[in-house]
Structure 1
Amino acid sequence: MRKNKITLSHIACFVALQCSLPVALPGYAREYFNPAMLGIDGPGKDITDLSAFEEGVGQMPGTYHVDVVINNAAQGTYDIPFSMQKNAQGQQSLQPCLSIDMLKSFRIRTELFPQLVGDGQCAVLNAIPMASAEFDFNHQRLLLSIPQAAVSTMARGWVAPDRLDEGINALLLNYTFTGGNTSARQSGNSDSDSYFLNLRPGLNLGPWRLRNYSTWNQNKTGDTKEESWDSVYTYAQRDIIALKSQLTLGDSTAPSDMFDSVPFRGVQLASDDDMLPESLRGYAPIIRGIARTNAQVSVKQNGYVIYQTYVSPGAFEIADMFPTGSSGDLDVTIKETDGSEQHQVIPFASLPVLQREGRLKYSVTSGQYRPYDGDIDKEWFSQATAIYGLPAGFTLYGGGQFAQHYQSLLAGFGKNLGELGAFSVDGTQAWSTQQDTDKESGQSWRVRYSKNMLATGTNISISGYRYSTSGYYSLSETLDTWRENEWKTSNERRRNRAEIMLNQSLGDVAGSLSVNAVSEDYWNSDREMRSIGVGYSNSFSGITWNLNYSYNRNTTAGRDSDKVYSEDQVFTLNFNIPLDCWLSNSWASYSLNTSKRGDTSHTVGLNGTALENQNLNWSIQESQTNHGQGNGGYANLDYQGTYARVNAGYGYDHDQRNLNYSIDGGIIAHAHGLTFSQSLGETAALVEAPGVSGVEVTNQTGVKTDFRGYTVVPYLSPYRENTVGLNPETLPDDADLTLTNQILTPTRGAIVRARFDTRVGKRVLMTLTRSNGKTVPFGAIVSVHGENQAQSFIVGDAGQVYLTGMPLSGSLLAKWGNAASEICKVTFQLPEEDNTIGVMQTNARCN
């Protein structure tokens, strides 16, 4: 038999032939895959209909959960139906079915294109010239390209009103309990106990939010016990989207951007800046202070205790106060273990009232004056304010307050000075009649200024000065004199007030400096108040240190007594050194604390975080003081769990031992039961992942689904897009998620539902064989029979299909064409053992 030989000449001819083929073929020829090739290993096999894949689409028509992106701007996540259609180039592709209402919500000017309305519910997108839609299947994104002329101009961060979620109907409760027990170690001293309970119940019903804020406080020293229960406020509130406003009925406080804050019980309609896009809206106070010992810090606002906690010696910062809906200065009391107290006044005021051109911000309030003292008459009053943005950076504002014994009018303007900052000036004319006195009148003038100098790193967040004449009284000062008893309050009132809050960056190497100061004096009194705080901080190679100085002076004088004053100055130096080389997530600290009273202490400590999610904070401190006080120590644990946050601390010194503890959390009662959580913010999300427990919520410390698959994301931003996700790496072996992230846009105070479709059950690799002995063909679509769900499975080679979330028994439907012979049904029964471990392999007959 002659052997065939391949020579170089043969190869050359073959290469030349191959190179010439593209020239001979038509330029429009397309690639084509013959489905019969799938049966090359078994002639006569049934072939799956692959027409959906021939044009390069690669996916079947159906409903997909996609992110909609218009002109590179994300619009949100929607369930969009897709069908096979020809695009503008005449090629088959998956095209979306978008309704006219949906296009309007995307700010597309549908009124300009009447041809958008087709025969069905789907808009004819080609009616907009140059418009196109592309389905990025790999990233599950629908990319819409719309000419700019066809899109309404909206500010960055704008959210369509129809996308806002009012949330579910629910009962909710926030609670905080703190306690402290002190045991005296020296004769002559008494044991003491202190307890504080804060309850914030609420009800969400449609767009309405009913809220209450109540506190209970008990202090016991020896045989003396003081106890009080206060309802700080109760109100019902809802938003009015069209007016970008909040309607409040009940207890609240009138806005303080012009007049001093006034508590009332009545009705209020006021603008809500959070409804504006982020690019169009302009503070919650951070309390800083210095404690000499393991101190109790209490915060009062408008006479109510709104916050209480325990701090270690040294500088502290409180940034997690629950908003009370009020405004006005914060009275901070730092009660040391030796019984001494420090008092600070933290200015809580808004920045200059500048508004963008054309923006109107308003408030209208009417109701009864709601004083802290129950003996004061609850006189009716009304207040109205308006702020309007004018061209050239000007803002005009004004308002009035009207009651039987008090009337006032205010007018002012603000100006954006560009590189020089921003300021506002206003004047108030008031007419007041105090109890048992004649009517008086007076004026008050105020200047406020702010500046953020990027070049020098200087930020003057609040700087203001106010002068009031001797005949000027505020609304509260006047109404507080009208009492049921004959006791009369002091007629002292504020004459001058100056305040400043400044932050200065000194560069990457030199650190930063902060200064805040408040000064007040009064008519008809020698009383003066001065409060100054200066801080410096820096870091190097992970080591941080800071210096803090605090000066507080309060002078009082009675008409028949000599001048009495209290004055204190405290200086602290703190170092924090990371110890990751020896103990991960831990730090060593040193603190020097000295005061004008002559008290000096040195404190060393260790602190850090523990557990997998770093949700356990721990600290140990040891200190030494002068004046023969000896040594003292303190240990603290703080655990942030799924259902609550728990804190416990123990300390001792020469005079006493003290134990303090706290717990705070939230509860939501909804249609599917009770869900316990961490303390709830104003707006929250109820996460539902039925049947899946212990799954972590991404970017949330300590938040996991409970035994039923429910949990709460305690803080969301209202009128903004919020992404809530589950960590798939923490899913049980027998569970899968269709989606791991959802985008929520809640209204203020809403409890919005974030439901995740879960598939809990076996993971199965099933080989499907038909009644004729042949396997179900490659590419067939398998779905769980009788279930209305988008998830389906595709058959691979040799009739094998990978299934997830399968029950122990049920039926499947396999389809590889439209004919009756191209559809079959599988009835299966899986063994119960090893239900949650690994992948089970089994065979099933498809009839």
Structure 2
Amino acid sequence: MSVIALAVTGGLQLSPACADDWFNPAFLSGNGQDVADLSRFESGAGQAPGVYRVDVWLNDEFVTTQNVRFDEDEHSSAPTTAGTSVSRDAPDAVNSATGYVSDDTGLVPCLTLKWLKRLGVNTGDNEALKALPDDDDRCLDFRSLFPGASSHFDFSTQRLDLTFPQAVLQNSVKGYIPPEEWDEGINAALMNYTLTGDRGRDSDSYYLNLSGGLNLGAWRLRHNGAWSYSDYKNGEHTERWQNISTYVQRTVIPLKSELVLGDSSSDNAVFDSLGFRGMRLYTADPMYPDSQQGYAPTVRGLASGRSTVTVRQNGYVIYKNIVQAGAFEITDLNPTSSSGDLDVTVEGESGYVQHYTVPYSTVPLLQRDGRTKYDLVGGRYRSGRQDKNAPVFVQGTLAHGFAGGYTLYGGTQQAGRYRSVAAGIGQNLGSWGAVSADLTSAWSRLADDSRHQGQSLRFLYNKSLNRMGTNFQLLGYRYSTKGFYTLDEVTWDAMEGYQYAWRDDGNGGGYHYEPVSYHNLRRSKKGRIQMNISQRLGDLGSLYLSGSQQTYWNSTGRDEWYQAGFSSAWHGISYNLSYAVSRSTGLAGDNRLLSLNISVPFGHFLGHDMAEHEALNSMYATAQSSRDQDGVTRIQTGVSGTLLQEHNLSYSVMQGHSSTTGSSGSANVALRGGYGSASAGYSYSRYDHRINWDVSGGVVAHADGVTFGQALGDTNVLIKAPGARDVHVENGNGVKTDWRGYTVLPYATMYRRNRVALDVNTLDMHTDLEDNVQNVVPTQGAIVRAEYGTHTGVRALLTLTYKGRPVPFGAMVTEKASGATGIVSESGLVYLTGISKSSEINVVWGNSENENCSAAYKFNDDDENQVVTQSNIICKKSS
């Protein structure tokens, strides 16, 4: 306080002729020789030139976080570091001589030609910039080149605001990131694994899915395979390994395209999606800022009890897991292709089996005026089925946008026994939604060598009526003449046939080989309608209706699948009433299921809806009742919830009763951890007792070692924070660094900025981060590295003396091993973090040879384990 008092009463000298302030550093001590050279602080609010890591904003829109070089602003009216006096002009003052707007730092960012282009500034119309090469790294006077441009550096928040007149900015869509910022990632090997097991009285089954590959520069090698094994107590067993896909992929940035070599699938915008082994080159929509995401497949269903859900696409099992009784939704599918109907089987432990098809197709993406989208495919047809042949085919599609919201599109398919040509038109109808219509003509030769020719007319519609709360996610109708066939149908080896699978009858009778699907080419497809509609009813809840219907020539039967439901909540209690029906031609009977689900939160009704009661607030009481087409009624009740700080441990305990099979029950627990995920469960019924479990995760081998983590997505982030172990990642459920400070954050968004932040509250007492936030922009399939500067070591409060007196106030201290720095207080104290257990410090308080010293130190084990270690160190003249 005495120093402050002296500064106020005697250290402030004001001149009546000038509003400059000057502080005499001698007043910080009784002897001016005990004070370091503080001339660098004379400028008051001015800052030193150098490189700062800042958030860059352009016209109030965030651009990036990056190291930016700042130079002294020669035109600034703000103070500089040259020892000038402090002017009390307001921030962002206008220099009367130049007209430039400046801030109080006295600094201006160094913007090169590359920086200007990155910001979207139109440099091509500026004569002074046309002659400069693209790699010119000189700092440009952007304020004189573009009158009206300015910068403001908020040093306290490390934010740089750049302002450019809109006239000099190229037209760009909000959120667009230029290709120069795209990160193709590091070289690495990666693998995903999922292993599930199910053991019961009559059978044991196991399923292993492995997917992984290599990243080398822009190239991605991927392989996806699955092994399944079933052992039945009647002596039968099945075992199979499926090579789902193997391919090489890379981005072609100049074409804004993706190249795929190997096993993949064609697009479904014009023709039905087909699996193939060959080559595909196509426009990559995510590279464009105006990309429109297609319809994502969501599988809804009703489970009469604890059931196994299996989803197949193009003959491959792409999803298999166990769900509890009631309505369920599967929204995290990873289909093998961008379309292709999803074949869904729901098999209950009681033997009740549902089988239906979820259509998966979209309205062809409308293109902006002048934009062209293409897709080229050549290779051999691939289905994963033994009863289909594999012809060589080529396919090409093209779409182009025109003024008025119109898009013309078309394409062709060519194979040895098949030819087709398609043409269509789509339009954005504004408030009326989007619509498309196309006509396809096909010439086919089937398995019996019969020749056919026909046409197919398709109409698709997509619309969200936000004001009315109505969403027509997809409405479509397709009419085909009697002689129309698709390339997929032509590949059948026989005109008709069944596909079989083992099924449990649910009554203790064991497993039987039963048909699960049927095809008959003599009954060609006629009309098909599909829909997915939802309607909000204000505070009352919401209604939804999904379904499809397929009719055939030469047959009175039809395939149908419908599901309707109503969802709502009352005083915290949520409930859902659903009804589903499905039937397929060629298969006996149909499936109908009526279900009611209720969920009651414990914390809300017990008055503990507070943060300190997280475990109770996340616990729910659930009840479910269903009735099927045979009049069988099932009731199930239980509790479920989550535990742990990140809610990454989930549990459920259920007890049920069936009107035919009696009592049943189950208990399940699942954990998402830093090294993967695991779950286990037990269930029982009158005829069976089962144990199920699964483990999943991902492994990445990179230049710095091997890192285990949760299951990887298509695009991922490798977090590198050496020495920062067990640090949690924000918004990463259960994701935390390993013992070396590494982890993988899965499911990054490609070609978009991803904010990756470490939770500083989980750092241990010996670790500090320079910056806990990084931003990355990965390309498709990349593993990008987010690297954090860490200081791991001792936190120390040192008292430094030199020649029997405290080291001068303001002296700079640097620890040799770690590079940690600090400034000495008026009593010779300095605080350093992340320093070594034993090393050397250097102290400098002036420019002369006699104004520095150094000292070696060594802490013992007890000092290292303290939160802050205190020590007295004698500094000696540096040699």
* Distance verdict in 2 for CA 1:149–1:576, change over 3 Å: same
The answer (yes or no) to whether the contact 1:115–1:124 under 8 Å persists in 2 is no
Q: Within 2, Cα distance between the matches of 1:572 and 1:47?
A: 79
1:833: which partner in 2? 862
The answer (yes or no) to whether the contact 1:257–1:350 under 8 Å persists in 2 is yes
The CA deviation at 1:614 is: 1.2
1:13: which partner in 2? none
The answer (yes or no) to whether the contact 1:115–1:127 under 8 Å persists in 2 is no
The CA deviation at 1:373 is: 2.8
The CA deviation at 1:786 is: 6.4
**Normalised TM-score (structure 2):** 0.87
Q: Within 1, Cα distance between the matches of 2:821 and 2:689?
A: 65
* Distance verdict in 2 for CA 1:799–1:153, change over 3 Å: farther
Q: Does 1:673 align with 2:690?
A: no
The answer (yes or no) to whether the contact 2:34–2:809 under 8 Å persists in 1 is no
Q: Within 1, Cα distance between the matches of 2:111 and 2:801?
A: 40
Percent identity over paired residues: 40
The 5-angstrom pairing of residues 487-636 of structure 1 reads 490-507=521-538, 509-556=539-586, 565-580=588-603, 581=606, 583-627=616-660, 629-636=661-668
Q: Report the secondary structure of 1:156's partner residue.
A: coil
* Distance verdict in 2 for CA 1:87–1:621, change over 3 Å: farther
The CA deviation at 1:527 is: 4.2
Q: Does 1:195 align with 2:206?
A: yes
Among 801, 804, 807, the alignment partner of 2:830 is 801
2:67: which partner in 1? 79
The 5-angstrom pairing of residues 261-660 of structure 1 reads 261-277=273-289, 283-374=295-386, 376-481=388-493, 490-507=521-538, 509-556=539-586, 565-580=588-603, 581=606, 583-627=616-660, 629-660=661-692
The 5-angstrom pairing of residues 819-830 of structure 1 reads 819-830=848-859
* 1:495-523 CA distance string (max 9 Å, x none): 1110000011111x110011001000223
1:812: which partner in 2? 841
The CA deviation at 1:829 is: 2.2
The CA deviation at 1:55 is: 4.0
Q: Report the secondary structure of 2:211's partner residue.
A: strand
Q: Within 1, Cα distance between the matches of 2:494 and 2:236?
A: 32
1:49: which partner in 2? 38
* Distance verdict in 2 for CA 1:541–1:638, change over 3 Å: same
Q: Within 1, Cα distance between the matches of 2:65 and 2:556?
A: 64
Q: Within 2, Cα distance between the matches of 1:846 and 1:660?
A: 69
1:97: which partner in 2? 110
The CA deviation at 1:438 is: 4.3
Q: Does 1:207 align with 2:209?
A: no
The CA deviation at 1:434 is: 2.4
2:93: which partner in 1? none
The CA deviation at 1:52 is: 4.3
Q: Report the secondary structure of 2:863's partner residue.
A: coil
The number of residues matched between the two structures is: 802
Q: Within 1, Cα distance between the matches of 2:638 and 2:333?
A: 26
The answer (yes or no) to whether the contact 1:214–1:229 under 8 Å persists in 2 is yes
Q: Within 2, Cα distance between the matches of 1:842 and 1:139?
A: 33
Q: Within 1, Cα distance between the matches of 2:318 and 2:678?
A: 19
The answer (yes or no) to whether the contact 1:377–1:482 under 8 Å persists in 2 is no
The answer (yes or no) to whether the contact 1:353–1:424 under 8 Å persists in 2 is no
Q: Within 2, Cα distance between the matches of 1:279 and 1:326?
A: 15
Q: Within 2, Cα distance between the matches of 1:166 and 1:123?
A: 29
Q: Report the secondary structure of 1:102's partner residue.
A: helix
* 1:146-192 CA distance string (max 9 Å, x none): 22233222111111211111111111111111111112xxxxxxx11
Q: Within 2, Cα distance between the matches of 1:625 and 1:44?
A: 92
2:516: which partner in 1? none
Q: Report the secondary structure of 1:519's partner residue.
A: strand
The CA deviation at 1:324 is: 2.7
Q: Within 2, Cα distance between the matches of 1:132 and 1:469?
A: 66
Q: Report the secondary structure of 1:565's partner residue.
A: coil
The answer (yes or no) to whether the contact 1:526–1:555 under 8 Å persists in 2 is no
The CA deviation at 1:824 is: 3.5
* 1:174-232 CA distance string (max 9 Å, x none): 1111111112xxxxxxx111211111121111101111111111222221111211101
The answer (yes or no) to whether the contact 1:594–1:601 under 8 Å persists in 2 is yes
Q: Within 1, Cα distance between the matches of 2:494 and 2:141?
A: 70
Letter in 1 for 2:432: L
**Normalised TM-score (structure 1):** 0.91
Letter in 2 for 1:614: H
Letter in 2 for 1:225: H
Letter in 1 for 2:758: L
The CA deviation at 1:87 is: 4.0
The answer (yes or no) to whether the contact 2:56–2:159 under 8 Å persists in 1 is yes
Q: Does 1:748 align with 2:780?
A: yes
Letter in 1 for 2:180: D
Q: Point out where structure 1 has 5 or more consecutive residues left out of the alignment.
A: 1-20, 184-190, 557-563
Q: Report the secondary structure of 2:195's partner residue.
A: strand
Q: Report the secondary structure of 1:51's partner residue.
A: helix
2:715: which partner in 1? 683
Q: Within 1, Cα distance between the matches of 2:137 and 2:383?
A: 62
2:84: which partner in 1? none
The CA deviation at 1:86 is: 3.1
The answer (yes or no) to whether the contact 2:438–2:457 under 8 Å persists in 1 is yes
Among 250, 256, 265, the alignment partner of 1:244 is 256
Letter in 2 for 1:98: L
Q: Within 2, Cα distance between the matches of 1:282 and 1:265?
A: 24
* Distance verdict in 2 for CA 1:375–1:584, change over 3 Å: closer
Letter in 1 for 2:208: L
The answer (yes or no) to whether the contact 1:568–1:597 under 8 Å persists in 2 is no
Q: Report the secondary structure of 2:442's partner residue.
A: strand
* Distance verdict in 2 for CA 1:836–1:745, change over 3 Å: farther
Q: Within 1, Cα distance between the matches of 2:756 and 2:651?
A: 29
Q: Does 1:121 align with 2:105?
A: no
Q: Within 2, Cα distance between the matches of 1:585 and 1:649?
A: 20
1:31: which partner in 2? 21
The CA deviation at 1:364 is: 0.6
* 1:216-268 CA distance string (max 9 Å, x none): 11222221111211101111001112222110000111101110111111111
* 1:712-755 CA distance string (max 9 Å, x none): 10110000000111111100101100001100100011011111
The CA deviation at 1:846 is: 4.9
Letter in 2 for 1:778: F
The 5-angstrom pairing of residues 50-199 of structure 1 reads 50-57=39-46, 59-89=47-77, 91-92=79-80, 93-113=106-126, 121-128=138-145, 129-183=147-201, 191-199=202-210
The answer (yes or no) to whether the contact 2:49–2:71 under 8 Å persists in 1 is yes
- CA RMSD, aligned part only? 2.4
The answer (yes or no) to whether the contact 1:48–1:778 under 8 Å persists in 2 is no
* 1:34-53 CA distance string (max 9 Å, x none): 333323x2243344233345
Q: Within 1, Cα distance between the matches of 2:54 and 2:337?
A: 38
The answer (yes or no) to whether the contact 1:814–1:825 under 8 Å persists in 2 is yes
The CA deviation at 1:577 is: 0.5
Q: Report the secondary structure of 2:200's partner residue.
A: strand
* Distance verdict in 2 for CA 1:823–1:493, change over 3 Å: farther
Q: Within 1, Cα distance between the matches of 2:75 and 2:788?
A: 33
Q: Within 2, Cα distance between the matches of 1:425 and 1:261?
A: 18
1:18: which partner in 2? none
* 1:581-621 CA distance string (max 9 Å, x none): 36332011111111121110111111111122211101111
Q: Within 1, Cα distance between the matches of 2:118 and 2:293?
A: 22
The CA deviation at 1:369 is: 1.3
Letter in 1 for 2:61: A
* Distance verdict in 2 for CA 1:62–1:482, change over 3 Å: farther
The CA deviation at 1:777 is: 2.8
